[in-house]
Structures are given as structure tokens and as C-alpha cells.
Amino acid sequence: DTAVSQTPKYLVTQMGNDKSIKCEQNLGHDTMYWYKQDSKKFLKIMFSYNNKELIINETVPNRFSPKSPDKAHLNLHINSLELGDSAVYFCASSPLAAGRMEQYFGPGTRLTVT
Amino acid sequence: AQSVTQPDIHITVSEGASLELRCNYSYGATPYLFWYVQSPGQGLQLLLKYFSGDTLVQGIKGFEAESKRSQSTFNLRKPSVHWSDAAEYFCAVGLNTGFQKLVFGTGTRLLVSP
């Protein structure tokens, strides 16, 4: 009965590789997000999708490409990985309703680029 | 620009003592306000939220927060801290400028001493 799930939990890869992280939510929410948390725990939004449509893209390099096959899934594909991409990536979802802006987070994917 | 400041990077509290974590925000309109907790290696869990109404809101795990709009603060409190409360705490402001977006503070790490 996990609300927001991500796979994999850990990802170790070499520079230059391409990798994907998957996210699924079973909360019936319309909006999903990707966040990056750096080594100092700072959380920054990367993307937001509403009903499969991209609505926020926060100056993220175009090596990062989100894809939403349906409103319950939001995947993140990263091309040509760089050392600076090492971080924890969180997926989140939120209902799109008046007074309901809270977001529910997945457990995170720790990406290590060597 | 909108911003969220958590002035304390670390706080150490004795078990059983009271706790107050500070959060200051800068936002022109009435924001949604949130506190999240992140235990080591975990995702973010919503503790409580505020948008309007009673300025004192109750959350999970015995936490409460008070919104003081005149001071632009949303401090988190707990009367008696338990060792299991040791975690990273994030304050966030919700922006609803045509799309939903959370802006997070830099977090406060809570350490609980025996």
C-alpha cells in the first residue's frame, strides 16, 4: 500500500552513462514532481507534471528528460551522467484541489556517479 | 523573490525537553505553509500544513506550529521530544501562482541527547 514508490533505491554508475529512475503513485493525484537533494540536504524542484503535461522545468540541463506515460507514473531519464549529478532524487505527488497543496514524497533514489 | 529561511542548521535538545524550530519566509501573498521531517535514508514525511484559519495547527507525532503572518514566521514546536524525533526538519512555502510549487528551507538537523 505504498503511496509513492521509486526504483531503484540506489544507483551507482560511471560518468557518461545513461540511467533512468522510475516513480509511481497510487494516491490518485494529478500532479507529480521530481526534486534533487544535494549533499547539503538542499531540496530543489526540477520538474512538475500535471496530468501527463509538463508544467514546471526549473532550469535543468537538457540531459535530464522526464516522461509521464500516465498520471500515476513519472520517470526521469538522465543522459551522459556527470559527477555533479550525484545526489538523492525524490519523486513527489500532490492533489490538484483547492486548499490541497501538500506533496507526498517517495523514499528517494541515491545516485552516485563515479 | 520568495524564500524560506531556517536560521538553525543544528539543534540539540535533551530527551523530554521542549523543542522549537524556527522558520521565516518571504512571500507577497498568503502562502501555504508546511513542515516536513526526513529521517536518515528516508523520504520526506508531512508533519503539518497551514493555509488559513486558526493560526495554531496540530500535526502528527505531537508536533504543532504557529503561523504569525505579521512576522512571516511558522515555527514548529513539540512539548516533549523523544529520541525518535532526531531527524532533519524542513519548512516549506507553497506557491500557487498558476501552478503548484513548494520552496523549501535549508533544513534544521535535530539531535536528541539522552
Q: Is the four-CA dihedral B45, B88, B5, A58 of positive or negative sign?
A: negative
CATH code, A105: 2.60.40.10
Q: How many CB atoms lie within 10 A of CB A113?
A: 19
Residue range of the domain that includes B108: 3-113
pLDDT at A18 > cutoff 80? yes
Burial class for A78, CB neighbours closer than 10 Å (0-12, 13-18, 19+): buried
**Residue of chain B nearest A58, judged by CA positions:** B101
B96 interaction partners in chain A (CB closer than 8 Å): 101
Least confidently predicted of A11-20, A69-78, B70-79, B90-99: B90-99
Give pLDDT tens digits along chain B (114 positions): 678 999 999 999 999 999 999 999 988 777 889 999 999 888 999 999 998 777 899 999 999 999 998 899 999 999 999 999 999 999 999 877 666 788 999 999 999 999
Cα B21 from Cα B19, distance rounded (Å): 7
Instruction: Kindly indicate the confidence band of residue A53, based on its pLDDT and cuts at 50, 70 and 90.
Output: confident
The reported pLDDT for the residue numbered A35 is 95
Residue range of the domain that includes A9: 4-113
Q: Is B101 on the interface with A (CB under 8 A)?
A: yes
Least confidently predicted of A51-60, A66-75, A87-96, B68-77: A51-60
Q: What is the mean pLDDT of chain A?
A: 92
On the CB side of A26, how many CA atoms lie within 13 Å of its CA?
5
Number of domains in chain A: 1
How many residues are present in chain B? 114
Cα B107 from Cα B105, distance rounded (Å): 5
- Nearest CA among A25, A44, A18, A14 for reference residue A107: A25
The reported pLDDT for the residue numbered B99 is 66
The reported pLDDT for the residue numbered A1 is 63
Using alpha carbons, list the distances in angstroms from residue A58 to A15, A17, A33, A64, B109: 23, 23, 11, 11, 27
A42 interaction partners in chain B (CB closer than 8 Å): 104, 106-107
Which site among B9, B93, B102 would you substitute to test the A interface, given the most A Cβ atoms closer than 10 Å to its Cβ?
Answer: B102
Cα A102 from Cα A104, distance rounded (Å): 7
From A8's Cα to the closest Cα of chain B, the distance in A is: 14
From B104's Cα to the closest Cα of chain A, the distance in A is: 6
Q: Is the four-CA dihedral B97, B72, B10, A4 of positive or negative sign?
A: negative
- Nearest CA among B71, B93, B97 for reference residue B3: B93
Number of domains in chain B: 1
- Summarised one tens digit per residue, pLDDT across range A82-101 is 999 999 999 999 987 767 78
**What value does the CA radius of gyration of chain A take, rounded to a whole number of Å?**
13
The reported pLDDT for the residue numbered B96 is 72
User: A65 is written with which cell numbers?
Assistant: 528528460
CATH code, B36: 2.60.40.10
The reported pLDDT for the residue numbered B69 is 87
User: A108 is written with which cell numbers?
Assistant: 528517494
The reported pLDDT for the residue numbered B51 is 84
B37 interaction partners in chain A (CB closer than 8 Å): none
